[in-house]
Structure 1
Amino acid sequence: MYLLPPTLSCPTVQLSNGVEIPILGLGTSHDGGYSHDAIMYALTDCGIRHLDTAKRYGCEEKLRDAIKESGLPRSDLWLTNKLWPGDYGYKAAQQACIDSCRAMGVEYFGVCRAIGVSNFLVHHLEQLKEDCSVVPHVNQVEYHPYQQPKGLMEYCRSGGIVFEGYSPLAKGQVLNNPVVQQIAKKHGRTAAQICIRWSIQNGVVTIPKSTKKNRIQENCQVFGFQLDEEDMATLGGLQDGRHVTWDPTNVD
């Protein structure tokens, strides 16, 4: 099995401002708890350099401790944080960024090197375009074999917005799919690795989440093999439109 060692840099995707974002990261959430040991393992043993969090998740201070303990310089890390609706507006957003930087013990998220949005569909991005002069660098949405918003992906890419996907395993729903399992058997890999590899090969910045060391290690072992065109097409055919998080379609 291929393990991404700490000395090996994860492939990156270039944002429209020239900044490089690692194509594989580790998500954190208020759901499922928080594991200091898992974060440390990801940073020091698996070479993860991309962490995704949010103020709402309530783990900024814990991540600060993990980052400090890892000994990794800030310049080696890509850290994504998110504002909540209560922080909207220029002054409130600015203060929220400053507060989050203090909480995590860092000087910037790029306060701010790059600006993104989450769960924005085409009509949301169109509305944003009317109200703002800055195009988001990233759009982070739910993405897995069952949820493939191809129209949104094409819109983002045509507009220079990097597409980032969360819940790449559909919260485990896709792991028992016989098609995924068959492809996993073909490559001598796990179903999770197949789904993450498929996402990455589609050029999607991918952020699986786990609090278990063995799962984090498994999720990082996706750079030593390649899915062929038939595999990619087969997985692409699993789209059924289901959401495992929430559907932002009707959000104004």
Structure 2
Amino acid sequence: MIPQVTLRPGVSMPQLGYGVFQIAAEETAPCVEAALEAGYRSIDTAAIYGNEAEVGKAVQAVQGRGIDRGELFITTKLWNADQGYDATLAAFDASLAALGTDYVDLYLIHWPVPAHDRYVATWRAMERLHADGRVRAIGVSNFHISHLQRLMDETQVVPAVNQIELHPNLAQRGLREFHAEHGIVTEAWSPLAQGGLLGDPVVTDLAQQHGKTPAQVVLRWHIQLGNVVIPKSVTRQRIVENIDVFDFALSAEELARIDALDSGARIGPDPDTFNRL
């Protein structure tokens, strides 16, 4: 059911996955198991989330129920304090051990943290991990055009993915156009604006017209734009609802109504000024 997008190295990635940001460690394994049972095959975590080990436990659990590791697409991210060439290699080893797997499908630099100026050296370590076959694809998260351009100017591998805050209130059109020009896949975090869009009159009207939930309408908007999207929920019903977005389509007029909600309003920090280690 879930469409695949092709990342630059020829790696297939599900267009819709399950994110575990802000899910408590003790809740993570059952939530991931519920997502995998519902049909998700892509799981997005990060070192800073503190739940990589629990993602790994869920993956191990479902392998006993006929879901092989090769069917899954696992993403994790390098935290800011671990940037730098040698530190990146060590942090990757720690993430791999926590996840209990011998490779990850996608490894991302979590933030550029420009004030510390280590993301180029970090990227060179990521290139090594990719060349060694320990990561199927490498990418970044929260990078602006200037950060991406510097990587392309000073290193060898163009990021396969840029995972960014993206929702109808922050549509990131210019950045998405840059991605398309350079073969970078756009992945949206906070695709529902942390629930802030679900009461918007445009979204609720479209949901009523299509017999869908507001969340399903916003996720469908992402899918039709070509974004990879990783909604999070800890509620089994919503986990199931969030994957059920492939049996309807928004018209060009309906997409335009949602596009008009773009105000440039961020929920998270600006990557140019976020420098926390």
Q: Deviations over 1:216-239 (max 9, x none)?
A: 011011011111111111101110
CA RMSD of aligned residues (A): 1.3
Q: What CA distance in whole angstroms lies between the structure 2 residues aligned with 1:116 and 1:191? A: 30
Amino acid at match of 1:12: Q
Hey, which of these two has a bigger chunk of helix by percent?
A: 2
Match of 1:4 in 2: none
Query: Following the alignment from structure 2 to structure 1, what is the Cα–Cα distance between the partners of residues 274 and 191?
Result: 23
Q: Distance in 1 between matches of 2:92 and 2:274?
A: 24
2:226 is matched with: 203
Structure 1, unaligned stretches of length 5 or more? 1-7
Q: Deviations over 1:186-238 (max 9, x none)?
A: 10001000000100110000011111111101101101111111111110111
Query: Structure 2 residue aligned with 1:40, among 23, 33, 41?
Result: 33
What is the TM-score of this pair, normalised by structure 1?
0.92
For 1:48-197, list aligned pairs within 5 A: 48-71=40-63, 72-110=67-105, 111-197=134-220
Paired positions, count = 242
| Match in the other structure for 1:3 | none
Classify the secondary structure of the residue corresponding to 1:192: helix
Query: In structure 1, what residue type is equivalent to 2:6?
Result: Q
2:139–2:159 contact (8 Å) kept in structure 1 = yes
Residue of structure 1 equivalent to 2:253: 230
Partner of residue 8, structure 2: 16
Q: Percent identical across equivalent pairs?
A: 42
Normalised by the length of structure 2, the TM-score is 0.84
2: distance between equivalents of 1:88 and 1:50?
25
SS in 2 for 1:144: coil
Offset at residue 251 of structure 1 (A): 5.1
Where does structure 2 lack aligned partners over 5 or more consecutive residues?
106-133
Q: Helix, strand or coil: the match of 1:163?
A: strand
Tell me how far 1:132 sits from its aligned partner.
1.5
